[in-house]
Chains A and B, each alone.
Chain A
Amino acid sequence: MSKHVILLIGSPKSYASTSNALGDYLIKKLEKQGFVSDKIYIYDAMKTDKDAVHILQSIDDADLLILTFPLYVDNIPSQVIALLELIFKHRSLQKEPKKQKILSLSNSGFPEASQSETAHAICRKFASETKIEWIGGLALGGGGAIGGTNLEDVGRIGGGVRKALELVANSICEDKPLPDEALKLMKRPLVSPLMYTWFGDAAWKKAAKENGVENRLYERPYQASEDS
Chain B
Amino acid sequence: MKALILDGSRKEDSISACIMDKIQDILKKRNCQIKALILRDQNISSCLGCFDCWKKTPGMCVIDDVGRSIAKENVQSDLVILLSPIVFGGYSPGLKKALERMIPNILPFYTKIGGEIHHSARYEKYPKMVGIGFLPSSDQESETIFKKLIERNSINFYSEKYSTRVVYPNDATEDVYKKVAEAIAEVID
Contact = CB atoms under 8 A, between A and B. Distances in A.
A73 B153 contact: yes
Interface residues of A, number: 50
B58 A226 contact: no
B8 to A, nearest CB: 10
Given A197-B117, A201-B109, A211-B56, A125 B88 contact: yes
Given A121-B89, A121-B148, A201-B110, A74 B153 contact: yes
A68 interface: no
Contacts of B90: 75-76, 81, 118, 122
Nearest to A11: B49
Contacts, number: 143
B174 interface: no
B109 A125 contact: no
Interface in A79-120: 79, 81-82, 84-85, 88, 110-112, 115, 118
B117 A79 contact: no
B145 A125 contact: yes
Interface stretch (A24-32, A56-64, A217-225): A217-225
Interface of A: 11-13, 17, 43, 70, 72-79, 81-82, 84-85, 88, 110-112, 115, 118, 121-123, 125-126, 128-129, 193, 197, 200-201, 204, 207-208, 211, 213, 216-223, 225-226
Interface of B: 46-50, 54-60, 71-72, 75-76, 87-94, 96-97, 99-100, 102-103, 105, 107-110, 116-118, 122-123, 125, 141-142, 145, 148-149, 152-153, 156
